[in-house]
Structure 1
């Protein structure tokens, strides 16, 4: 096969094929006596696997998986996939937690998101530690209109009351869902001023669909990668487990 033959199946450029080979996402191609690349069905299977991995796990993980496979580090490749599955599970659990929080909001109660509710004012550092983000992130959310903590009159330091911590938790969960800062600001402003949760519920439904799409993409990627590994190992029965 020529680069154009591989590229045509996926609607990409021949330069992309050469770049994938250069970056280790495809195995090295043999060359003709005049220097032209020769690709085989194994290269086509590798390309299908790589392109299926991207929507499932992201560009970085897809590249790490393929380069690990081509360096005969199958265990490392599988670890990368495991991390992606673990992240998807965490995101599903996060979505469940924020749905519960929204349910409490709809009832007019102060919600939790899987963490014990704070009993009093918290500093920006304490809230950042609680969420696993940096204080700079919280200040950026404040600048975007997402958070509105008060200030200590004596020191001028930010004071996050329980409602502020709730807003920070919801913002963090929605960011994990891929929502832009301006969208999150609108949702939280609605909650603070009108107590309505309709827009947030719709946002969570969209997040649920994206998680489902990602899970299905992972199934497809696993199948394409398995096809390639079988071709690469030369065994119709599977892999040489010693390589893991």
Structure 2
């Protein structure tokens, strides 16, 4: 059945989830091999920067390990979309995606890498939470979030190769961020960004609810970028 939804939202609204589907283009943001559940998870975004998960079962994982998926743009053919209310992918009990549907990879699914001239104009980042949203979240729901903000204060915890940072958005609201076990090759990057009060994009952070103020805590999935070229960062630049 050759139907080509073009956005994640179209897949999220599907009623006939057990049909076979194709999607014209997605960028793979992150790849995580979930050893505990014997599967691989892909975070992917569409042109509108909406995020969706793809789940690769255990017996197919070896074929995807060396495919150079992260960061590249693909057309994905012949897969099913399923709901996972009873098997919600988690990282340490934190929900990793807000959608309750996922792309289910099977042995007939193919990933076709798109040409570099097409990929060069494709979004690099998902839609992210604002610092205000994080600071004012009182749902107590455990989830991973992506956020962007300007570093207005920072402290290096040397013995843990870690940083405690305060991020601010364009409204002036702030939230605390803890980056643990930063790789040695990225330590200088964070130090310079803190000194320059740069805008920082961070992904896959635990949203930890606290009566003294919510905070964000890094995970092994966390990635970050300094001075990202994205709409949310442009708003902060325009304000400060």
Same fold (TM over 0.5): no
Judging by fraction of residues, say which structure has more helix.
1
